[in-house]
Amino acid sequence: MTSRVRGALSAALIALACLLVPFGAVAAWAAYGLADTGRYVTTMAPLAADPAVRDSVADAVEGEVGETVRPLVRSFTRTPAFGTAWDEGNRAVHQAVLKAVRDGGHHEVTVDIAPIAARVEHRVALPRTEIAVLPASQLDRLRKGYDVLEVAGFWLPLSAAVLAAAGIAVAACRRRALTATALGTALGGALLGFAVAVGRRLTLTDLPDPVHRPAVGAVYDALTATLRTVSWLLVAVGLAVALACWLTGRYGWPRARRGPAGPVPDPAQQPTRAQA
């Protein structure tokens, strides 16, 4: 295989690997982060202290069970007990949606808001505590996306790693190939961060009620915090490896600059002062 062919093949493999980096990160985040109930509840837990989220919860409960409970729910959201109810509610919602996606069916997904309603029902009679969280019309679409993410979350990152390793292995100049892979990885990380920012803007812009934008923004930021961290890590590691490759290519390794060490002279063969 000529150097030109090896270079072209290496470039193609590395380009494809770097292209898969942001998609693999998103797929892995969705498959192993969002789909895990424990991680989801832990991620959402700090939002119980966010004023915008508290107001949105009060609005949601009011819309489902009646306006008369709004002052009571608002008061409850400002107590320490709301944190426990918030975690229980998020766990119930996540488990209900995940069960519906995995088990099949075409019914509306509902959860019981009793963890919150039980705190106020002794003051006012609530007509019902069960609310809908996912319409049946969206369940099939979500199920298909979940099935794809389960496969892509494992295979995309693995494929990216294998393609990058193959591209470096077949390259005529492996240092250049490694530098290109590192720069491509950094670029993929930057694109991932840009996509997260654009997604946030689009999500907030499409909201029908602008009043809920602060709460939705807080939830979006909490859920995508891992993606933002991954994007910065990809950029930092990629640039660091590229810089190391450039420095070693320009200045060489310290031992290589000094040259090979010569043989150690034998003291027995050295002429004495008298012989000299």
* Half-sphere exposure in the Cβ direction for 145 (13 Å, CA): 11
Hey, CA dihedral for 169, 173, 179, 180, is it positive or negative? negative
- Across the chain, which has 276 residues, the per-10-residue mean pLDDT values are 84 94 92 88 91 83 65 80 84 85 73 61 54 70 81 91 94 90 95 94 83 86 93 96 87 54 53 50
Neighbours of 71 (CB within 10 A): 14
> Where in 173-218 does DSSP place strands (E)?
none
Q: Are the beta carbons of 234 and 192 closer than 8 angstroms?
A: yes
What is the length of the chain?
Answer: 276
Dihedral angle, C-alpha 183, 198, 157, 27, nearest 10 °: 180
The whole-model pTM stands at 0.78
